[in-house]
Chain A
């Protein structure tokens, strides 16, 4: 589009095989329970399942009725129940209740639980405790990787964020390692690995262990992906907290893209029904605007509409034969394009309407001030008013977090007053939300460090040096300082403005935030790839609390002519936003390399905030 690539960007590998593998394994597992059966599917697994299989495939393998886990099962006459679930304790109890109810009424059925992506010991413990252990059989559906697009693979584990970063639970690290192992065996070997963050490091280690054990025959194979970069979400919360202004990000913020597709409601379709649209590179209209700043999207769409009109107009003055040709060859394509165009135009309108209502302009202004670090008081009162007017509980939280992260915590007076007003506006139970945000380090009070240090030194006295180091690490990860201002200065994240930033002809990754801010996560990746390591970034690493690594696998042939050298698997542990994806796609075009995104889930500020809210059991 607007930017011309200096070198040819390598084509992404074909990830279709991942879908095929997952589908085949599922079929195999279903066949393990021969005969007709009812299938209970966990809500979270429905969309991913939709992307790899369909009902007719399930029916072919004797699935009779489909139920959603959690809704009370309809009275079912089936002799066999199959549960397709995430490994969660709550779900185990739900299943146990069904089994026990059947037992009470003297009904005998076969039950099978298929865990995806893996089974947890704790789940089996619950089954055992509930007295249904022998009554159910368990299987694992190793569905780790769902390709959402030609360059995005998602693990569809949004709970990763809360489980790891808030609760400190390492349960998904093994899953990440397995996902890496699979990708490495299909598209690797990855010759070079970089990373930053505790979780990145652990995942890397577990993955290497798996590789050593498997003695894979990867040596000497020509890889399709040559580099891998792992990053923890807490390395950069700021970027994830910003309002998104590239089209795909805005669509996600406004309508929520779920598993690569979006439900456009009546306000977009200008009819009385919703339409589900798959958003990916196959959508000829979407693929051209997804990475664009919202302000350039209108122009593009109207240009496109004019072209389309012109093509339709060609009909006039055609003779019968030409007309016949036109109808048989072009009309379908034009109609398709027309449909897509009108949908995206409708989406733009709807976005505009919503954003104008929310004082989007003012909000963006406040965000930019926070990023640049001036007019903090003004931004603080903007946030205050936002809360008082009950604009949106999630947006208010997001702005407070952004203020906290960029300022290394709120001053105690502001913290108290904003918290009080928040509880008054949105409900006292958010006391729990504030506690969670404090624990994860997203919303803190300045000088809170003292209490932490006290506990730390108390604990340290009790243990050996080696362990003490680990504890300090653990504490750091729990409530680390963000040091955003210093990092931003070191890496030049706030571009100097000389004149207007031309959003149509972006000059750097800052365009994804209207030219006001280069996403930190992407800047780190850019710098490390450029330097082929962390050399020269020591100060930045220190400010980011360390845990960086850079490893070359000497066993892997290093052939600079291979395209794979220019293909990088960017792994986001804890979620990745569409803004980051757009920024790195831009960087890839600039540098002639291709980024493949592997994320535990697509995230945005709202999802992150929602993950911090306590729900009833």
Chain B
């Protein structure tokens, strides 16, 4: 390590940047100790390329936090002693200069490709000088002492450690498969994803993919990193090859399907989705993909049609309620809502009719009713709402039935400002008495409240309710007549 020392000395003697002032100012020192501690811990703030045994630096009295202060720190911030470093190196661990660099003056090709000659101090510093980095003062930011590192035969472990600290290390030496794998395992053991990925980039360049894949199959952590890296860089082909190699067929399919997100043109998107149907999805997902394709196909047809209708201005509904957005790429339920809104009465044969959609996509009753209700209520088409819940039995009697709770129906109607007459019809159908009373009271469906209290034989509540209705109104009369009804056996 004497060379290092010589280099350092040369640096300190030649540098025009004399960062240290040795006029001792002990008071300042103690005062600044706190800040110094902070700054020293922020090894990466300061570009401590160099070690120096000037542990007890006295500070020049620059105000802490000023820029010049930080720049001086740049040159002076290191604290660990040279001796300590040497001994640790002998032990084989690289605690030496374990601080990240700020300026990347090295290129990745020097990392991965190496150079023709055996890497040596000289040749690598040459390499650095022609990287075209010229925006900083080399003397300030990158003392020569550092360059010697290139020549050393770092063990895989030390290489990984140095890379973790942002140091440059040539990986070129690792040529045998075993060396490469040891390096990779060390990187994984070092828990730094950045380094793991860097090693993987190197392996990817220097190994045939089948070999790489085979080795990654038993190295799950590294494998995750490569997959993530390929996703991020968009190397889709290699990613798919890897997933196929691993027999992860479902992921192959999903990963291909994912690409549709990037296709803007609907026609192209539709074509692409068509191609996705044959991908090795699970049976369940295959039907979802099929539905996706069919849905977009329908939407394209509906969109073309409706745009035409709208511009022609012939259709009343489109004139009255101009479309706010195109239906393309909307979810199925939104499409259904749209179709219930604009195409409610169409025959099942047309693609845009709600019944057609319901059949094609096997939309459950519940879902269908909720959506149709919302659409028709929005149009205030109360007759349609009524029809939605009316069923006839074989004797021709009509009955109200809903696959969803009637409280839900009430809520949707109320949100669409349904008149009380409509509302109370459905409030009346809410089964749970308490909920019914709550809703009826909340939405002022007086008749329902009154009838419910009557059915509950609750005279007190009914009497109390009298003050909620208008004086002299039909409701008041109704309450009075019920209260006067001698037939009722009140419970209170």
Chain A residues within CB distance 8 Å of chain B? 17, 20-21, 24-25, 27-29, 31-33, 88-90, 110, 112, 118-122, 124-126, 128, 133-135, 137-140, 142, 163, 167-174, 178, 181-182, 184-186, 202-203, 205-206, 209-210, 212-217, 384-385, 388-390, 416, 419-421, 423-429, 431-432, 435, 459, 462-463, 467, 470-471, 474-475, 614-617
Contacts and interface: CB of A to CB of B under 8 A. Distances in A.
B263 to A, nearest CB: 9
A128 B107 contact: yes
B38 A429 contact: no
Contact of A170 (B191, B329, B332, B363): B191
Contacts of B229: 122
20 contacts: A25-B42, A28-B71, A118-B194, A122-B201, A124-B107, A126-B233, A128-B108, A134-B133, A142-B42, A142-B45, A171-B197, A174-B192, A185-B38, A215-B80, A385-B366, A389-B408, A425-B331, A429-B260, A474-B220, A617-B262
Contact of B261 (A27, A384, A617): A617
B103 interface: yes
Contact of A168 (B37, B74, B100, B224): B224
Contacts of B333: 388, 390, 424-426
B321 interface: no
Contact of B98 (A32, A168, A214, A421): A214
A459 B223 CA distance: 13
Nearest to A126: B233
Contact of B254 (A138, A163, A435): A435
Interface in B187-212: 190-198, 201
A140 B329 CA distance: 42
A464 to B, nearest CB: 9
Given A171-B197, A384-B366, A419-B284, 11 more contacts: A21-B38, A118-B194, A119-B104, A140-B102, A169-B224, A171-B194, A186-B37, A186-B38, A420-B288, A467-B218, A475-B220
Contacts of A463: 218
B84 interface: yes
Given A21-B42, A185-B37, A617-B262, A426 B164 contact: no
B328 to A, nearest CB: 12
A225 to B, nearest CB: 14
Given A215-B84, A216-B41, A432-B257, A112 B135 contact: yes
Contacts of A28: 45, 67, 70-71, 74
Contact of A432 (B132, B231, B258, B295): B258
Nearest to A25: B45
Interface of B: 35, 37-45, 65-67, 69-71, 74, 79-80, 84, 95, 98, 100-104, 107-109, 111, 131-133, 135-136, 161, 163-164, 166, 190-198, 201, 217-221, 224-225, 227-229, 231-234, 250-251, 254, 257-258, 260-262, 284-285, 288-289, 291-292, 295, 329-334, 361, 363-364, 366-367, 370-371, 404, 408
A185 B332 contact: no
**Chain A's interface: helix, strand, loop or mixed, by majority?**
helix
B104 A138 contact: yes
A202 B191 contact: yes
Contacts of B218: 459, 462-463, 467, 471
Nearest to A29: B102
Given A118-B100, A428-B292, A171 B361 contact: no
A303 B229 CA distance: 56
Given A122-B232, A389-B370, A171 B193 contact: yes
Contacts of B70: 24-25, 27-28
Nearest to A475: B220
A614 B251 CA distance: 14
B44 A178 contact: yes
Contacts of B101: 140
B227 A167 contact: yes
B201 A119 contact: no
B414 to A, nearest CB: 12
- Counting chain A CB atoms within 10 Å of each CB, which of B80, B224, B260 scores highest? B224
B408 A385 contact: yes
Contacts of B251: 435
Contacts of A138: 103-104
Contacts of B194: 118, 120-122, 171, 174
A168 B221 contact: yes
B235 to A, nearest CB: 11
A139 B98 CA distance: 17
Nearest to B105: A137
A120 B197 contact: yes
Contact of B80 (A185, A214, A467): A214
B100 A428 contact: no
A333 to B, nearest CB: 32
B199 to A, nearest CB: 9
- Counting chain A CB atoms within 10 Å of each CB, which of B70, B102, B219, B332 scores highest? B102
B262 to A, nearest CB: 5
Contacts of B190: 206
B193 A169 contact: yes
A212 B88 CA distance: 11
A388 to B, nearest CB: 5
A27 B67 contact: yes
A-B pairs with the 10 shortest C-beta distances?
A185-B41, A134-B132, A168-B224, A171-B193, A170-B193, A121-B198, A428-B292, A213-B95, A142-B44, A616-B261
Contacts of B257: 431-432
Nearest to A172: B193
Contacts of A24: 45, 65-67, 69-70
A504 to B, nearest CB: 27
Contacts of A186: 37-38, 41
B47 to A, nearest CB: 9
Contact of B201 (A121, A217, A475): A121
A69 to B, nearest CB: 17
Contacts of A420: 288
A20 B44 contact: no
Contact of B108 (A124, A425, A467): A124
B254 A181 contact: no
Nearest to A462: B218
Contacts of B292: 428-429, 431
